[in-house]
Amino acid sequence: MATTHDGFLPISKEDMVERGWYYCDFLLVTGDAYVDHPSFGTAVISRVLEDAGYRVAILSQPDFRSEADFVAMGRPRYAVLINSGNIDSMVAHYTAAKKRRHDDSYSPGGKAGRRPDRAVTVYAKLARRAFPDVPVYLGGLEASLRRFAHYDYWADRILPTVLQDAGADGLMFGMGERSVLEIAANLKAGKRGADVVRHVRGTAYLTQDKEDISFPAVWCPSLDEVLADKVKYAESVKIQYDQQDHITGKAVVQKHGHRLLVQNPPALPLTTEEMDKVYGLPYQRTYHPSYEAEGGVPAIAEVQFSIIHNRGCFGGCNFCSLAFHQGRFISSRSHESVIEEAKRIAQHPDFKGYIHDVGGPTANFRFPACKKQEKHGLCRDKRCLFPKACANLEADHTDYLTLLRKLREIPGVKKVFVRSGLRYDYMMADHNDEFFLELVKYHISGQLKVAPEHMSDHALYYMGKPSFDVYERFKKRYERINEKLGKKQYLVPYLMSSHPGAELSDAVHLAEYLNSIGYMPQQVQDFYPTPGTLSTAMYYSEIDPRTMKPVYVAKTPEEKAMQRALLQWRRPDKRALVIKALMQAGREDLIGYGKECLIHPRPDEHFPHLHDRKKQAGSARHGGAKPRKTVSPSAREQKRPAPRRKAGWAKPKKKR
């Protein structure tokens, strides 16, 4: 069954015929269900091509056991474009513990199993079998982060560029609007092979000829070198990261056997006018009606009535792929564009008056961190917010606050929430309380989610996050504003365990702190080594690419489980792991009856250090030496000053 649905792009040959099409220019294949919303890359790229006059058909979640679904769509005139969906297919399928997930919010009915592992590679091979003479180009997050030789956590080894395994003609990395239009124009003009992409920024391709390198280039260690030497792998990642600025970045070349992988410099960010045009295209803002019978597509729930107002993030967390994919330079839409989208949302029949989010990668970034970045690019060996806010940082929320005020005034809008990540360190660099005050008053509901990730400065250094002291000052400021407004709202922190550099003693220190403030997180994220991040390079190589110095990495399932368990020490199912972790860390002093202890012994449990204390106490009562707290040498070395009890996270609000 396939019938034309007004407003959506065709999803079958029958849809095309009903439109009067007997071919399409581009067949866009995706691992997600087809959702025509600007939060989905498939929707954006297809609408951009449509706006340029091309015929685009969508092949969503095709049968990956044969090329039959590809053949049924008919041969596209110019190319097959492939992405795995909004997220990496391996992340969609597996947890950080490599356990299979039971659901998939980007599939109809939330059912898993509709896409293959390593989706872009599988789809590319099927496209080749279906249309041997049609060019194939990869895009989206999965392809973007695998464009070089990379460590693959699931295979636990270095894999070559995804272009080699997929056999594709080229790859678009980052935000692809400019790249895809240039590729489309080159194909339309009759260009073939490397000529299609070699002059296009934001692309990567394989070639045997050095003459195909069109931009000034730097070379990074080859596939053979990174396979043989982890130091070379760390070096290659550092070189690749250093060239990801659209102003200063050069092409990066990596030898793969007898061929050369060439990554051209990043695409230029869209201007405000160009972003306005992209987000003003005729998106239907929902999933294709053909999924209704299966219960729709769950992923739409959080974004249907949300607005993206910016791109890029200069926060630069080491575990985040944004710097390698979307870039650190901030681009933003005009107020008029955002307001027009909000007005369209307000007219939607299912809209209840609540705009769920006005954000992006980081909600409170509206412009580059400093004026220098607009002409000279971002600093290569400096971060805007790490280890502390740069002296040149222009921390100003005035424009964002003005935008939020305008949105609150739109008829039919009851509440405008901010749910994307807020950089609290950027907020602390802004000494004007005006934005903070209105955020607390109008734009959160009971709780504010932020991401300190840890409280050990040792661990935070390897994460690329600021000192925990910044969070403590933020929390006090937040509490002061809530008190001023007569509100009782809470902070909900995101915490991460087992990040490279974080030792068992760091996890114990964090558990002590959480215990001292009476807070235990319900959810903790284990570090997930996904392709394209500095932290993943640390995990594999045990070297920090920033300094080329060794870094400790918790790799065994047991130690990772212990670090995670320490952050949820009260849970009965974690008790044995917590005890083992404390004993291994030499922190038996945290097993006992004091309020500072994480584990209170049960009647049937025997701990030698407690037995020794009882003997010492008995000796003291009979004239012997006074009992003395026994601390092992390892504990004495690792124990740190007790955290201040007045700081920390508030208890979560009880559900009624």
| Residue list, annotated binding site for [4Fe-4S] cluster | 313, 317, 320
Residue ranges at the known binding site: 313, 317, 320
What is the Cα–Cα distance from 197 to 138, expressed in whole angstroms? Answer: 12
Q: CA 393 → CA 239, 322, 386, 423, distances in Å?
A: 25, 20, 11, 13
CB 184 within 8 A of CB 191: no
The two tokens of residue 65 are: 């056991």
End-to-end CA, the chain: 46
What is the total residue count of the chain?
656
Phi first, then psi, for residue 152 (nearest 5°) are: -110, 115
Task: Give DSSP secondary structure letters for 141-175.
Answer: HHHHTTSSSEEETTTTEEE--HHHHHT-SEEE-SS
For residue 204, the cross-strand partners are 171, 263
Residue matched to tokens 């306005």: 276
Residue matched to tokens 């991040």: 533
> How many other CB atoms are there within 10 angstroms of residue 499's CB atom?
27
Please, is 364 exposed, middle or buried when counting C-beta atoms within 10 Å of its C-beta (0-12, 13-18, 19+)?
Answer: buried
- Angle among Cα 41, 47, 48 to the nearest 5 degrees reads 90
What is the Cα–Cα distance from 358 to 347, expressed in whole angstroms? Answer: 17
What is the Cα–Cα distance from 313 to 420, expressed in whole angstroms? Answer: 12
| 62 upstream amide cis, omega within 30 of 0 | no
CA dihedral over 510, 512, 514, 516, signed as positive or negative: negative
